[in-house]
Structure 1
């Protein structure tokens, strides 16, 4: 009996040693492969830095971590297979599936990293549309993640045709249950394709209290930073039912002012109008291709009203107010040049000299 136990122990020790040697060999091979990959990566990195073509840098950067992970994980599955085969007699078909899932995951990971690198690179360029770049990147990520999930399900033995059939019925149920979520999703798609605004635009809505600068356009909501620096989170579905004004796409900004001249300065009115019009026509920041009107517009209660209607070349809000200030200061100088002045509300009180200084009581008596 003792001899039998000794033989069993010796056999188990031999198996463990052979198994351990195999695992050690696989681990050592993984280490060698990883070191070789790091050396190859360093050499390739030096070569790509010398080229003016940036896509090789982006691709190499996307490969770095996923390939290193694959070098360690693939031998790990082989080591696991060796260990299980030594101790269990059951079928290990699931290890084959695990390897397929590993390959699919690494492929999707590399693709997502490449999309991210390209997105960052394009956004750093001067001539780019941030909204379009982000939209294309999101659609690309969604596409490859979906392909990866479907391929993984097929690797588990699921039928794609049955899955798609179930998806049609399930999609109807999910659509009814998540109506608001889907409406926000398609609202985001509408923004991306119709492009009523993009990231960085100043927008406002006369229908809602929405005004500010667009910071981010997501699949579910849009983030707007108001002018008092508060973040405003607007569901995308809102934009399909409201009017959105985009002042950032203005071609010009308008100056429209009603200027009142005193009635006693009526003799200088025509000269004032002509000089103001001439000043605007020669002003370097006024767009003379647009409508320009300077006219006597009517008799006010205490002033002769002039209408000044013109457009600036700039659409920048700060620069516009600088130009407007300069125009108004020049108009004031023209008015003063003709010994006239800007009117202010006045009332004329006429007192009958027969009753001057007499109280109401005295008048009644």
Structure 2
């Protein structure tokens, strides 16, 4: 790479032009190459649009900007080498390493753009789990960034074997210093692999004041949007030490209500209970395959109580309350049909006529 740079600079200087002319020549050549690349890219883009595959479109979009930047920056290093060699005695061999770093960075940039394009395309299809797609994309980014860093270090002349040897000792030191960061990282990996929840799920924890909808699962923390629209940033390590409930994965929602009848309607309780049971068994939004119970329960202080225990087919929170409202209104209609009524708290006071106070019958005793 170094010899090729020197050869290119010597070839440009052989034209006999002054420094400014050489720089303008390189700039004009860069512009010409850029125009050729834009025309060639336009042809490629037109060809890919004719195909039924989406992957070629994603690849073409990924290489557009990195190649354009490389066309301008790589000749710029040649111009910089000419300027430095003409005005100073500085060794310009390091520019060859800059060019190598540009090439490596361009390839890494292309891969990262391709991963981003593929991730956005797959998520737009609404056919894949968002959490899984994001996890695969993050692992792919981490892989290519790691490869790029190792390649750059190798290009700079650093010994990878020595680095790996140092990593054994240094890794222990870094692990002790960044144990919280590492615990959050592995906590995020646990979420991706165990999948207790995914983006969009409603979760809550009985151990902590955590409840809301999962917006994003990162490597270090998870963002949860509470129901009052406040963002909640939870370190991933927390989820390895608490119980997490995921109501979004419920199969049914439960209706469990107690209804009280007046004591005057005691002879109608069995008929009302039976009619309520029949109504629930034939309700289109009640899952009759699940447990369904309607039974007289207990003698309350001012009511005869029976309970309703059943499950709805829907798990949607808003729809569940609509179904529950319809069930309770039908229960009320059944009670009215039997000329009964729902009890309300009452008290009956019985007075003994012999204990009624009569003036003058009681002597007040005053104790000094």
Same-fold call, TM > 0.5? Answer: yes
In structure 2, what is the equivalent of residue 161 of structure 1? 161
Partner of 1:294, secondary structure, is: strand
Partner of 1:17, secondary structure, is: coil
Are the counterparts in 2 of residues 260 and 343 from structure 1 also a CA contact under 8 Å?
yes
1:64-120 CA distance string (max 9 Å, x none): 110001111111222333344445556433222111111110001111111111111
Distance 1:358 1:280 in 2: 58
**Range 243-252 or range 115-124, more displaced:** 115-124
Partner of 2:204, secondary structure, is: strand
Residue correspondence of structure 1 range 141-220 to structure 2 within 5 A: 141-220=141-220
In structure 1, what is the equivalent of residue 227 of structure 2? 227
Residue correspondence of structure 1 range 224-303 to structure 2 within 5 A: 224-303=224-303
In structure 1, what is the equivalent of residue 28 of structure 2? 28
**Range 167-176 or range 246-255, more displaced:** 167-176
Alpha-carbon deviation of 1:234?
Answer: 0.8
Distance 1:166 1:358 in 2: 103
In structure 1, what is the equivalent of residue 97 of structure 2? 97
Are the counterparts in 2 of residues 254 and 311 from structure 1 also a CA contact under 8 Å?
yes
Alpha-carbon deviation of 1:20?
Answer: 3.8
Partner of 2:269, secondary structure, is: helix
In structure 2, what is the equivalent of residue 10 of structure 1? none
Distance 2:278 2:289 in 1: 15
Alpha-carbon deviation of 1:40?
Answer: 1.2
Distance 1:29 1:111 in 2: 27
Distance 2:268 2:295 in 1: 13
Partner of 1:260, secondary structure, is: strand
Distance 1:229 1:163 in 2: 47
Partner of 1:259, secondary structure, is: strand
Are the counterparts in 2 of residues 15 and 86 from structure 1 also a CA contact under 8 Å?
no
In the superposition, the TM-score normalised over structure 2's length comes to: 0.91
Alpha-carbon RMSD across the aligned residues, in angstroms, is: 2.0
Alpha-carbon deviation of 1:353?
Answer: 2.1
**Range 17-26 or range 67-76, more displaced:** 17-26
Q: From the superposition, tell whether residues 172 and 305 of structure 1 become closer, same or farther in structure 2 (CA, over 3 Å).
A: same
1:116-159 CA distance string (max 9 Å, x none): 11111111112121111111111111111111011101101001
In the superposition, the TM-score normalised over structure 1's length comes to: 0.92
Partner of 1:204, secondary structure, is: strand
Stretches of structure 2 lacking an aligned partner (at least 5 in a row): 1-13
Partner of 1:326, secondary structure, is: helix
Distance 2:361 2:72 in 1: 113
In structure 2, what is the equivalent of residue 109 of structure 1? 109
For these two proteins, the number of residue pairs brought into alignment is 352
In structure 2, what is the equivalent of residue 362 of structure 1? 361
Distance 2:220 2:353 in 1: 77
Distance 2:351 2:283 in 1: 49
Distance 2:191 2:246 in 1: 13
**Range 90-99 or range 212-221, more displaced:** 90-99
1:47-74 CA distance string (max 9 Å, x none): 2222221111111111111000111111
**Range 48-57 or range 336-345, more displaced:** 48-57
